[in-house]
Amino acid sequence: MADGSARNGVAGTVVAAALLAFAATKTATSGTGTADESATRPDGATGPALRTGTHKTGVLGRIDLWQQRHRATAFPVGVLKKFGDDRAGRLAALIAYYGFFSVFPALLAMVTILLFVLKNRPGLRTDIADSAVAQLPVVGDEIAKSLANPIGGSTIGLVIGLAGALWAGLGMVQASQDAMNEVWAVERSRYPNFIMKRVRSLIMLALMGSLVIASTIVSQLVSIVAPGVLGVVLLFAATVALNVLVFMVAFRVLTVADLDWATVLPGAAFAGVAYTVIQYFGGIYVSRTVNGASDTYGTFAIVIGLLSWIFIIAQVTMLGAEINSVRATRLWPRSLFNPPATAGDHRSHAAQAKAQKMDSSMDVDVEFDSTPARV
C-alpha cells in the first residue's frame, strides 16, 4: 500500500510538472512576454505591444474604407467628425445665446456713435443703420423700432451708457473666441487673459461695424453705376467679397493660434458665400419660423426668430473654422466606425487631449494601444 501511494505521488508530481511546463511554453509563444512585447513597439517604449488596427468587415467596413480612400468624401467626413468631436453644435448654440443678448446693445451703441459722427449727414446715418438692421431679416424691423431713441443725456451719462452698451455687446464675440480656440485645440494655458480677450472682442466688434458701413457704401455705388439686373449681380459679388474678407480677419483675430491668410481662406470662402446666400434667402426661413410661432408664442416669436437666425450664422461660422482646422492639420481621412482608428483619428484625439493643458508647467503625453489602420 505504501509503495502504491508513493507511486501515485510521483505520478501526480510528474503530471503537475508537465502541465506547468506546457503552460510556460504557451505563455512564451503567445506573445505576452514583456521582453518580446517591448521589442515589437515602434516607439521603443516598454509595455504591452501595440495592436494593429484592422478595418471592419462587411458592408459597413467596405463603405468606411471607400470613403477614406476618396478625397471628395474623406475630407467632408473629416470636417463633420471634427465638428462632432469639438461639440461645435453646442458652441454655436452658446454663441447664439450670447448673441441674442449682445445684438441690441451693440446696435444701440453703433446708432449712438453714428448720431455724433454723422450729425450733419442724417441721410447717410439712416442708410447705415438700415444696413445694419438688414443683417437681421424679419426681426430687424422690430429692433429698428427700439433703436429709434439712441443713448442720450449728459456727457457723463452718455459715456457710461455707451460703455455699458459696448460691454454688453462683447458677449457674442467672447463666446466666439472660446469656440475658435476650441476648434484649433489651443492649450488652455494659452487662452488670452481678461484684458486681451476684451481687446480682441473690441477689434472684432469694430470690424463688424466697418462691414456695415462698407456694405452701405458699396450698395449706393452699385445702384448708381449699374442699375437693374447687372447691379443686383454686382452687388451680390461685392457682398460675397466683403463677407469673405471679414471672415478671414475674424478667423485670425478670434484665436490665439498662429494662422496665416492662406490657412483661413478656404473656410472663409465657404462661410462668406454661405452667409451671403443666407442673407438673401434665409429671411424666408426666419419669416416662416416667426409666423409659425406667432400663433403660439405671440410677441415671443420675435425672440425665436432672432435666436434661429443667429444660430444659423453661428453654425456656418463653426463649419468654416472646422474646414480650416481639418485642412491645415490634415485631420482626414477619419473612420466612421471606431475601432479601427485612422492616423487622422489619432492626431485629432491627441490634439484634443493636449488642449486640456491648464498650466504652462504641465506636460501632456498621449499614447494609443493600437497602430492606425492603413487606408
Structure-model confidence comparison of residues 301 and 192, the more confident one: 192
Task: Please check the confidence at residue 20 and state whether its pLDDT lies above 50.
Answer: no
Average pLDDT for residues 104-116, to the nearest whole number?
74
C-alpha cell at 371: 497602430
Mean pLDDT of the chain, nearest integer: 78
- Give the pLDDT band of residue 9 (cuts 50, 70, 90): very low
Give dist(CA 148, CA 130) in Å, integer. 11
Query: What 8-state DSSP symbol labels residue 120?
Result: T
CA 96 to centroid of chain Cα atoms:
13
- Give the pLDDT band of residue 232 (cuts 50, 70, 90): confident
- Give the pLDDT band of residue 76 (cuts 50, 70, 90): very high
53 Rama sector, left if φ>0, alpha if ψ -120 to 50, beta otherwise? beta
Quick one: which of 320, 102, 118, 119 has its CA closest to 213?
118
* Cβ burial 102-118 (10 Å sphere, 16+ → b, else e): bbbbbbbbbbbbbeeeb
- Give the pLDDT band of residue 110 (cuts 50, 70, 90): confident
- Give the pLDDT band of residue 148 (cuts 50, 70, 90): low
Average pLDDT for residues 36-56, to the nearest whole number?
50
Give dist(CA 103, CA 86) in Å, integer. 26
Task: Please check the confidence at residue 19 and state whether its pLDDT lies above 60.
Answer: no
- What pLDDT score was predicted for residue 324? 98
Average pLDDT for residues 168-193, to the nearest whole number?
93
Average pLDDT for residues 296-301, to the nearest whole number?
67
Average pLDDT for residues 309-331, to the nearest whole number?
95
- Percent of the chain at pLDDT exceeding 90: 38
Torsion 195-201-204-210 (CA) sign: negative
113, 156, 105, 252: CA torsion to nearest 10: 70
| SS3 assignment, position 40 | helix
Structure-model confidence comparison of residues 229 and 157, the more confident one: 229
Best-predicted range by mean pLDDT (121-135, 200-214, 241-255): 241-255
Average pLDDT for residues 22-40, to the nearest whole number?
40
Structure-model confidence comparison of residues 326 and 43, the more confident one: 326
> Domain extents for the chain?
71-354
Task: Please check the confidence at residue 323 and state whether its pLDDT lies above 90.
Answer: yes
Task: Please check the confidence at residue 342 and state whether its pLDDT lies above 70.
Answer: yes
Task: Please check the confidence at residue 294 and state whether its pLDDT lies above 90.
Answer: no
| pLDDT tens digits, one per residue of 187-197 | 999 999 999 99
Average pLDDT for residues 31-42, to the nearest whole number?
41
Task: Please check the confidence at residue 182 and state whether its pLDDT lies above 70.
Answer: yes
- Percent of the chain at pLDDT exceeding 70: 71
| pLDDT tens digits, one per residue of 242-287 | 999 999 999 999 999 999 999 999 999 999 999 998 887 776 766 6
- What pLDDT score was predicted for residue 261? 97
Quick one: which of 135, 138, 116 has its CA closest to 125?
116
